[in-house]
Structure 1
Amino acid sequence: MTVRNLKHMFRATSVAVIGASTRPQRVGSTVLADLMTAGFKGNIYPVNPKYAAVAGLHCYAAVEELPACPDLAVICTPPATIPAIIAELGRRGCRAAVVLSAGMSRPDAETGITHQQAMLEAARPWLLRILGPNCVGLIVPKIGLNASFAHAMALPGKLAFATQSGALATAVLDWSLSRGIGFSHFISLGDSADVDVADVLDYLASEADTHAVLLYVEGVRDGRKFMSAARAAARNKPVLIVKAGRTPESAKAAASHTGALAGADDVYDAAIRRAGLLRVDTTEDLFDAVETLARARPLYGEQLAIVTNGGGAGVMATDALLRGGGALAGLPAGTMARLDAALPSTWSHGNPVDIVGDAPVARYVDVVRALAEAPGIDALLLLHAPTAIVRSAEIAEAIVEVARSQPVPLFTSWLGGDAVSAARRLCRDAGIPTYDTPEQAIKGFLQVTTYRRNQALLMQTPPSVSPDIAPDNRAARRIIDTARQEGRTLLHAHEAKGVLAAYGIPVVETRTAPDAESAILAARDLGFPVALKIVSPDISHKSDAGGVALDLRSDEQVLAVALAMVKTVRERAPLARIEGFSVQRMVTSRTAFELILGAANDSVFGPVMLFGHGGTAVERIRDCAVALPPLNPLLAAELVSRTRISHLLSGYRNVPPVDIDAVIGAIQAVSQLVCDVEDIIELDINPLVAAHDGVIALDARIALRGSEVGPRCRLAILPYPATQERPALWQGEALTLRPVRPDDEPAYRVFFQALAPSDVHSRYLCMFRQPEHSQLARMTQIDYAREMCFVAVRQGMQDGDKSEFILGECRAVADPDNQRAEFAISVRSDVKGKGLGTLLLHTLLDYCRAQGTAELYGVTEATNAPMLALARRFDFELTATPDGIHMRRALAGVAPAIPTALPEVT
């Protein structure tokens, strides 16, 4: 749905409890008691026809008898009664409800419609938002709102927690109280019939009292909606998630290895990574990690130096770091010299830096300062075990002072109990992440590095059409259409290779042969040695059926093997249709690697990409990684880096490195293919042979979606819409009109510097001359699924280099239903009055109309005469309200012509 009307739920000023009760240990009595004792200052209206009064409050017989419309209704009645209650609330003007009742999935005896569906249909005409059903409720401590049947009130704080598990909600609440952890919002989502995790993320993303969002998620229904909300929230504040269900599901039947290997949890992992979130394993980890992220300084690299006063602690930390995929920093020669001067000769002479157990305070200070100033060291971990030589608190005091003057992030672990408690407190008070054990400290450091990587992925916006690929889309389409006309959903091997070749992926030369004699002729034509493979629309994995033979070097071998192969295949797959053989030239290299590259369609997140170690044992090896397309070179390289085989691809001993650019290019090409052709639901290139001189696809299979009516494969992340770029002639000058990109941030900073203060105020309703990075990021890193911003760009020179200068922008942000889009427009002050705003607004109107948006609207000040004049020229309806002039234009019908005869005003 949308964040519409959620303010009535999370900022309620009055609450009706429908089903309030006087009976103890009932949901209705518990909710009312929680509301009355939590400090809520608004009106509370019990509703129940059985009582005249409940808990000292007047009780109303029905919603229609309430003296005023409540902001929020909490419903604790039987499932069959809820649709009618929702309809009553909607008619009365209520726009938010919490439905605690379970059992809503049961159908009504008369209509056959489930109570849940009837409830949603009753709410729809009024845009009444529903949390639940089957939930514990919600708590907003700041306003004293406890609209739940939880056993206690949450403490106030800056963390928001939302969970799909009701049992976990009460457990986490109890756990947080014992540790003094507070919340801005505590939300039980229940069955999420209406308000789901994406809606809550959208709301909390811009909620000022929430500094971080913690989620417990068991599943997502709409991948694109979730990704849009998660990416928007993650750009503003840390979002941490526990995704339940890491254990692999049973292998599903699939036409490709990719379909079998890309398990649901791997796909969730890829989605969480790409959205810039941090995934942890347990709810306790959620709170530990958010404290670490809050305390740790930003990381600019991942090379860690460890300082310890005991060798054992250093070894434990190193083991945990390397097992977790981290890296120890090297010690430069200059740093080694400084350490030699500061340390006794018995020090470890490496990383971890063992400063020896008798170290005084000065030795700690000298070593930490030397490492913090060393090139190539991105973070420090100090491990300390208490000794009788110097108090731990004295060391901590000195280290805190050093840390204040150094930009390198510092993590500490004070081993022990009472002897180090003061040192821990000093570090925590100074904002330094502090842990009880070396392993916990390493876990915290790795969480920060993972979050840093995921945030970097969040900023990537691949184009809809890669500039590095020039596919022959028509050729690929012809092959797929032919298969469709023949009623096939699985392409023949040579057809699959034809599709790949159309997208620039090198494929091995292949011939098809209907019989053994024709196979011999094909082998002669290609040149020995050859590979022989069975052709059957009913066999996905040919080697499993005995349908593959390699390195055949003569006519006699081809004939004998072909006859034997047919016999074997018929024994192992008696129902399979055999249509002949494919003959391929053998590709062999002792220094080549067999890889797998594929794509599959996930039921939630749409197309997913897979890369890893290929060959016949691919499902045994299970060395693969998953990512969501579209992919650019950086994202493709990151996908490769998450596999074990990536360490071999860079070369070792007498094995040269593979052409990694060719590997990245093949990944990009497959990404482009699955983005372009929605009919492809599974694709395998196995093996994709990679060597020093390039890559080549030896075998490929492509499965198509069936002809049945159903939703097409949808990308969970929309690419940069390069097709919307267009040239424009303005005042005799050539400009480019295009969607905004993340790399426009520097140009936007220059754009703001060229705006007069009055223009800044008119457009942004505030005053800032130097916008923060976070503000610019929100303007340039947009989600094209729900927002569009066109910029008018002029080419020019800056500091001797070619640069792009933004002259104006026009953007629209649609609600998730795409019914209304709010627009805004701004033109650089020195080019106003020359028609640029008119050009931008016309471009935006055309785009929104093409997207099916029903209405464009905006708000401006009554004093902004230029904007109002422009709105009138484009037939906007203008309505004066206390908060400004509302501008509205329905987008159905004929597009307005560009007003060319009138002077430009913006």
Structure 2
Amino acid sequence: MTDTAEHVRQAHALLADGRTVEIRPARPEDRLGVEGLYARMSPESLRWRFPASGPGPGRQAARRVCGPARPGCLALLALYDGRVVGVAEYEGGRAGEAGENGENGGSATPVAGGAPVTTAEVALAVADDFRHHGVGTLLLEHLVHAARAEGVTAFTAGALAGNHAVLRVFADLGLRTTRRLDGGEVRCEILLDPDEHYLASVDERGRTADAASLRPLLRPRSIAVVGAGRAEGSVGRAVLRNLHRAGFTGRLLAVNPHASVVERTPCYPSVAVLPKAPELAVLTVPAHAVPETARQCGKSGVRALVVLTSGLDAEQGAALLATCRHYGMRLVGPNCLGIANTEDGIRLDATFAAHRPLPGSAGVAVQSGGVGIALLGGLARLGIGVSSFVSLGDKYDVSGNDLLQWWEGDGRTDLALLHLESFGNPRAFSRTARRVARHMPVLTVDAGRSAAGRRAAASHTAAAATPTMTRRALFTQAGVIATRSIGELLDAAALLHSQPLPTGSRVAVVSNAGGAGVLAADACVEAGLTVPELPAALAAELGVALPAGAAAGNPVDTTAAVGGTELAACLDRLARRSDIDAVLVVLVPTATVRATGDDPVRALLRTAGDHPAKTFAAVLPDQGERVRLLPTGHPDGSALPVYADPQDAARALARAVERTRWLGRPSGTVPEIDGLTGTAHAAARDAARALVAGFLAEHPGGGWLDPRHCARLLDLYGVLRLPQIWAGNEDAAVAAAAALSAAGGPEGPDGSEGPDGRVALKAHWPGLVHKSDQGAVVLDLAGEHRVRAAWRELTARLGDVMTGAVVQPMARRGTELVAGVVQDEVFGPLVLFGLGGTATDVLADHAARLAPLTDRDVRDLLTAPRCAPLLFGHRGGPPADLDGLEQTLLRLSTMACDLPELAEAEINPLLARPDGVTAVDARVRLLPRRAHDPHLRRLR
């Protein structure tokens, strides 16, 4: 019955208990499997499913589900180990039967001639032994996704009033559902309009399923090391040794056909002959043996794999992942260092690292084994330690997103550290990170910044939207603290782990050496912190407390003669101030203080411990370590982060301030847009999709829209633009200029300027992007003679390549900006904003955020570029139309989200004035792409 199946991808997804099922459209060859599903149902289940059917209802349903394709119909199957365990279907042309062990649908809008339906009847059935594991809900999520892509706006369903199971499935889905009682049947209507509540419901189901699937990986009750060699340098033997040293609490086995014992662990010749299938298998076999070994593991009942082996080719890698999906095994690696969990009840160290991870509270996930070793060592030196560690390697399956969800609920992790070189589903990562970052700091190393030099696309926007800018937009919106190196990450982790967050950016710098204090103050300002002048009364108090010759400004120079008692009095006064958010203390060793025994460092530690609500950091330039945590001696076990360089300390403080600001801001919502809501938005979207489809039908490989189509697209989404008329020849250009001159005026709503009605002539040909660079623009044309001369000049220079020209009135003066969108195939649409005009590439003053933009994102975009003061009333001038700028950015965001084929779009210049915002020039490039739903639950 599946007419739309060709648009629905096969996927694997997790059930609530962590098992993996395959979701795909039904095929004719599935008929026996679907019949078997119904044949195994209990009589009660069949009664709920087919309350009014005659004999053989299962066979009839199977014939329909797996029968010939029909317009407006789709059936999806859930399969576990090749067995059909669930069916979900919708029909636009006729009413269905009844549902999941009652799960079932209601009425429908008939389909005429294969046209997309708006309402469809939904039906659902789940095997008895898979009920209450989320099969029905998972199928419905995928069915909703497919139906929306085909234009279905609502599902209708019916179930007997006593069928609480199906009614609960519909109610808990998260979509707006209405019910009415019709005799003994409850009729439901489910609106297929995913909102934040629905996405949050999907997130929560995903988090629960993800955590359950990772339990055999991170809390296994038994482990087998497959490929444990006898040689001293064997990776498998190293893993076994580390598992023993860590004191793994579960059962430990090894597989080696040439040994009976390795590292005091009994060996077996193959996975197939193990006395009992382990929950976790660690594979260290050669690359060519990995696929078959993984198959043996899956067949034996292993629940999770860690593949340390490197060097798998594409065929071997594909076979490994296919095996894991078929048998429902979660996979870490290949080409990884291993995993660790320091829980007392687990004590798992399945790595071949030289040193055992120190137990602690930091969750660590890395793609590089070398980075992992460095982070483990650094966290151990700091005394922070790790709760769990996962070396993701080539990241075929388990990702940073999975680990964030694990740490969110493991009860031990309070700091998340990530090193990610790639993202499988960035927008899903963003939602997860945004949620987790509300409860714990999430830090990452922004790896691969050198990619900023790659410029593959033609427009200014696409050239500016580098991978670095895209990642930073993701991190900024999600509240992830991005550092430039492992050292900086550890610097920030030390402060965030040991100190309260500062309430603001005001820092008091205290030093016993004037020069060192100045360097620290400079470092703070360069990091974006403020070093305010201290109030006169406070400065007077400090002057009394400090030795003679002290300077009680900010920085505070205590002189080299300061002792511990005097320093403590100074710091105590600063710590009590509400107008000081953090205190940075720089102490250099002096022989004078050593002789008195009144140690300033001990006083600093003691004072920091006495003020647990104030943020303290210290710099000891003579220490060997870049950063360390010194205990304050306070009964609460607090510690003080101490750095060797004031720049490291200042950057760490700045990142703590950044986190404070992020936590203090509302998360933001996607606002409604004037004139672009409800049916108006639907009409604009449908018209835009028709425009796109028409263009791609003529240009299957994609390309740049001509000016007329660009203008039409902007008009559909309500983006205000300068009037334009297309001219195919000289006479048409003259007529267009006359028409625009007659319609314009100095204060005309169309943005034209001057009583002489001057116009611009802009040549066009397919593929033209940068008109100014090509000499394709002639400005300030007044009168027929000037227009004709300009046309002839352009045609003489450009020849037959020129297909026509756009005639526009000259725009009034304003701040020239650029606003655009780039559709990244991995990250989705990115909205870019900044200084425009011909210098946009040279000055590179841009900011970016991932779409859909929230109200918070839009404000960030307006304030982030260096040119922002020009928009807010620079030097007493009037501010630009900020509401108009916000509307323009939101409309571009909506357009990009509606049209996955929109590869890039740019408005440059976008003129901003106090009385309005006008798009002067626009370009749009389309590519044949299909929408990707980042929120649909599926494994990679």
Q: TM-score, normalised by structure 2?
A: 0.68
What runs of 5+ residues in structure 1 fail to find an aligned partner? Answer: 107-113, 717-784, 787-814, 819-906
Q: Which residue of 2 aligns with 1:856?
A: none
- Out of 363, 368, 372, the position equivalent to 1:165 is 368
Q: Which residue of 2 aligns with 1:7?
A: 215
Q: Which residue of 2 aligns with 1:492?
A: 706
1:474 corresponds to 2:667: no
User: What is the letter of the counterpart of residue 796 of structure 2?
Assistant: K
> 2: distance between equivalents of 1:5 and 1:406?
39
> 2: distance between equivalents of 1:475 and 1:160?
46
Q: Which residue of 1 aligns with 2:778?
A: 549
> 1: distance between equivalents of 2:440 and 2:834?
33
1:409 corresponds to 2:615: yes
Matches within 5 A, 1:178-197: 182-197=385-400
Using the TM superposition, name which of 248-257 and 532-541 deviates more.
Answer: 248-257
> 2: distance between equivalents of 1:552 and 1:380?
63
1:292 corresponds to 2:500: no
User: What is the letter of the counterpart of residue 468 of structure 2?
Assistant: D
- The question of whether the paired residues in 2 share the 8 Å contact of 1:276 and 1:456 is answered with no
How much has 1:599 moved relative to structure 2? Answer: 0.7
- The question of whether the paired residues in 2 share the 8 Å contact of 1:414 and 1:424 is answered with no
Q: Which residue of 2 aligns with 1:306?
A: 509
How much has 1:549 moved relative to structure 2? Answer: 2.1
User: What is the letter of the counterpart of residue 131 of structure 1?
Assistant: V
CA distance 1:408–1:551, change in 2 (3 Å): farther
Using the TM superposition, name which of 349-358 and 44-53 deviates more.
Answer: 349-358
Q: Secondary structure at the match of 2:525?
A: helix
Write the deviation string for residues 849-873 of structure 1: whole angstroms up to 9, x where unpaired: xxxxxxxxxxxxxxxxxxxxxxxxx
> 2: distance between equivalents of 1:195 and 1:554?
67
CA distance 1:174–1:644, change in 2 (3 Å): same
Q: Which residue of 1 aligns with 2:905?
A: 683
How much has 1:533 moved relative to structure 2? Answer: 0.9
Q: Secondary structure at the match of 1:703?
A: strand
- Out of 105, 123, 130, the position equivalent to 2:331 is 130
User: What is the letter of the counterpart of residue 558 of structure 1?
Assistant: V
Number of aligned residue pairs: give it.
701
User: What is the letter of the counterpart of residue 689 of structure 1?
Assistant: L
Matches within 5 A, 1:272-671: 272-329=475-532, 331=534, 351-354=554-557, 364=567, 368=571, 371-372=574-575, 376-386=579-589, 388=592, 393-394=599-600, 397=603, 400-401=606-607, 404-405=610-611, 407-416=613-622, 426=632, 430-455=638-663, 460-463=667-670, 465-466=672-673, 474-475=683-684, 477-478=686-687, 481-482=690-691, 484-486=693-695, 487=698, 489-527=703-741, 528-570=757-799, 576=801, 578-589=802-813, 592-653=814-875, 655-671=877-893
Using the TM superposition, name which of 396-405 and 618-627 deviates more.
Answer: 396-405
> 1: distance between equivalents of 2:382 and 2:854?
44
How much has 1:256 moved relative to structure 2? Answer: 2.5
User: What is the letter of the counterpart of residue 785 of structure 2?
Assistant: E
How much has 1:122 moved relative to structure 2? Answer: 2.3
> 1: distance between equivalents of 2:494 and 2:668?
30
How much has 1:417 moved relative to structure 2? Answer: 5.4
Write the deviation string for residues 159-190 of structure 1: whole angstroms up to 9, x where unpaired: 22221112333454455566666322222111
Q: Secondary structure at the match of 1:600?
A: strand
Q: Secondary structure at the match of 1:5?
A: helix
> 1: distance between equivalents of 2:643 and 2:629?
11
How much has 1:45 moved relative to structure 2? Answer: 1.5
How much has 1:630 moved relative to structure 2? Answer: 1.9
- The question of whether the paired residues in 1 share the 8 Å contact of 2:668 and 2:857 is answered with no
- The question of whether the paired residues in 2 share the 8 Å contact of 1:535 and 1:580 is answered with yes
> 1: distance between equivalents of 2:598 and 2:272?
68
- The question of whether the paired residues in 1 share the 8 Å contact of 2:763 and 2:777 is answered with yes
1:86 corresponds to 2:294: yes
Q: Secondary structure at the match of 1:157?
A: strand
> 2: distance between equivalents of 1:511 and 1:394?
76
- The question of whether the paired residues in 2 share the 8 Å contact of 1:75 and 1:97 is answered with yes
Write the deviation string for residues 248-279 of structure 1: whole angstroms up to 9, x where unpaired: 34544425211111001111111112122111
User: What is the letter of the counterpart of residue 557 of structure 1?
Assistant: R
1:76 corresponds to 2:284: yes
Using the TM superposition, name which of 476-485 and 692-701 deviates more.
Answer: 476-485
Write the deviation string for residues 425-474 of structure 1: whole angstroms up to 9, x where unpaired: 548964344333322221111121223344456x5242374479656653
CA distance 1:661–1:10, change in 2 (3 Å): same
CA distance 1:501–1:90, change in 2 (3 Å): same
How much has 1:202 moved relative to structure 2? Answer: 1.9
Write the deviation string for residues 258-301 of structure 1: whole angstroms up to 9, x where unpaired: 11110011111111121221111222222221111012212332
- The question of whether the paired residues in 2 share the 8 Å contact of 1:34 and 1:148 is answered with yes
How much has 1:314 moved relative to structure 2? Answer: 3.2
- The question of whether the paired residues in 2 share the 8 Å contact of 1:304 and 1:377 is answered with yes
CA distance 1:501–1:127, change in 2 (3 Å): same
> 1: distance between equivalents of 2:452 and 2:284?
36
Q: Secondary structure at the match of 1:210?
A: coil
1:247 corresponds to 2:450: yes
> 2: distance between equivalents of 1:258 and 1:209?
43
How much has 1:661 moved relative to structure 2? Answer: 3.1
Write the deviation string for residues 397-439 of structure 1: whole angstroms up to 9, x where unpaired: 3784477358443333345459xx9996548964344333322
CA distance 1:567–1:403, change in 2 (3 Å): farther
CA distance 1:76–1:401, change in 2 (3 Å): closer
Q: Secondary structure at the match of 1:666?
A: helix
Q: Secondary structure at the match of 1:604?
A: coil
How much has 1:125 moved relative to structure 2? Answer: 3.4
User: What is the letter of the counterpart of residue 247 of structure 1?
Assistant: S
Q: Which residue of 1 aligns with 2:10?
A: none
- The question of whether the paired residues in 2 share the 8 Å contact of 1:465 and 1:672 is answered with no
Matches within 5 A, 1:851-866: none
> 1: distance between equivalents of 2:573 and 2:469?
41
> 2: distance between equivalents of 1:211 and 1:117?
36
Using the TM superposition, name which of 474-483 and 91-100 deviates more.
Answer: 474-483
Q: Which residue of 2 aligns with 1:42?
A: 250
How much has 1:347 moved relative to structure 2? Answer: 6.9
Using the TM superposition, name which of 70-79 and 446-455 deviates more.
Answer: 446-455
1:97 corresponds to 2:97: no
How much has 1:392 moved relative to structure 2? Answer: 6.5
Write the deviation string for residues 739-773 of structure 1: whole angstroms up to 9, x where unpaired: xxxxxxxxxxxxxxxxxxxxxxxxxxxxxxxxxxx
What runs of 5+ residues in structure 2 fail to find an aligned partner? Answer: 1-12, 14-209, 742-756
Using the TM superposition, name which of 616-625 and 12-21 deviates more.
Answer: 12-21
Q: Secondary structure at the match of 1:601?
A: strand
> 1: distance between equivalents of 2:498 and 2:374?
26
Write the deviation string for residues 596-630 of structure 1: whole angstroms up to 9, x where unpaired: 11110112110011111111121111111111122
CA distance 1:321–1:493, change in 2 (3 Å): farther
How much has 1:345 moved relative to structure 2? Answer: 11
> 2: distance between equivalents of 1:631 and 1:621?
25
How much has 1:340 moved relative to structure 2? Answer: 7.6
User: What is the letter of the counterpart of residue 483 of structure 2?
Assistant: V
> 1: distance between equivalents of 2:569 and 2:927?
65
Q: Secondary structure at the match of 1:328?
A: coil
